[in-house]
Amino acid sequence: MNILFVCTGNTCRSPMAEGYLNHKYKQHTAKSCGLCATASPVSQNSKQVMEEIGVDISTHVSAPLTKELLAWAEKIICMSPSHKEVLESIGVKAEVLGNGIADPFGCDISTYRKCRDQIAKEIDQLFEEFEVVAIEYKHLKEIAMLEKVCFSTPWSEQSLCDAHKTGTRFFVATNGKKVLGYVGISVILDEGYITNIAVFPEYRNKGVATALLLKLFSLASEKNLSFISLEVRESNHSAISLYEKMGFLQEGKRKNFYTLPTEDALILTKRFD
């Protein structure tokens, strides 16, 4: 997932957030910018407190918010509610890191350490570490529960088991304690068809779906697939946006494909050269 951190001058808070996330959560890519940035170097205190935890942000130079950064970002995280208000006033969806991070600019080194620790704590809560692995039978019960949470006509545990036995490939995102999300794909010759992809609500917007799709792209490379295709409800704009950012294009429509409620499905396909 591409994450953009936004603050005022982009010399203290957002560079620390960018550096911390890129250092610890390598399944994501972070950048940062400031609403009033003027191509300034990162503050010395920010540099020092990040070095103390093994993160080098010494080469950072502040950058302004641009249309290119907005187009790049899949998730925008502001350092304060006031930054969010500015972005939403121009029609940009954003969220605040925790309840907001106070600006340490001009304060002593201990204030910067407290700011760093608060940023790290809030990011850890947002981006819990997980891995994507091949399904095991122990995961089926949780996946069946996830199906019920996400879909009006969910697959049963037995249906999932039967599909697994007959060749459908399933992968789960797990933090070692529970399933966060899953994806299934049916491979026919050099074609891949996603059966379902789902993430528990409390783990959405944390890069789980992106990581699951990247796992399928890796499988596509391994199996030399020519494309991966899926269906999505026409009204599911958030999912469609994610798929488009991951390289899927609309190649058709299935009339009244879904029930409860009845709705058309868009056919989205990612082709591999």
Cα separation of 9 and 225, whole Å? 46
Dump pLDDT digits (tens) for 34-63.
Answer: 999 999 999 999 999 999 999 999 999 999
CB atoms within 10 A of CB 162: 12
Asked if pLDDT for residue 251 goes beyond 90, the answer is yes
The pLDDT assigned to 204 comes to 87
91 pLDDT band, cuts 50/70/90, is very high
The pLDDT assigned to 176 comes to 87
Using the Cα atoms of residue 98, residue 99, residue 105 and residue 110 in order, give the sign of their dihedral.
Answer: negative
Catalytic residue among 20, 112, 243, 258: 243
231 is catalytic: yes
Asked if pLDDT for residue 128 goes beyond 80, the answer is no
68 is catalytic: no
Catalytic residue among 20, 25, 231, 258: 231
Structure tokens belonging to residue 97: 């890191």
The pLDDT assigned to 101 comes to 96
Give the percent of the chain with pLDDT over 70: 100
Q: What is the mean pLDDT of residues 133-152?
A: 95
Asked if pLDDT for residue 115 goes beyond 80, the answer is yes
Please state whether beta strands 95-96 and 227-233 pair in parallel, antiparallel, or not at all (unpaired): unpaired
Q: Nearest Cα to 195, choosing from 215, 213, 168?
A: 168
The pLDDT assigned to 244 comes to 92
Q: Which residues contact residue 25 at a Cβ distance below 8 angstroms, ignoring those fewer than 6 apart?
A: 123, 127, 129, 207
Q: Nearest Cα to 128, choosing from 170, 176, 78, 56?
A: 176
Asked if pLDDT for residue 206 goes beyond 90, the answer is no
Cα separation of 76 and 5, whole Å? 6
DSSP 67-117: HHHHHH-SEEEESSHHHHHHHHHTT---EESTT-----TT--HHHHHHHHH
Q: What is the mean pLDDT of residues 18-40?
A: 93
Which position has the token pair 């026919």?
188
The pLDDT assigned to 273 comes to 78
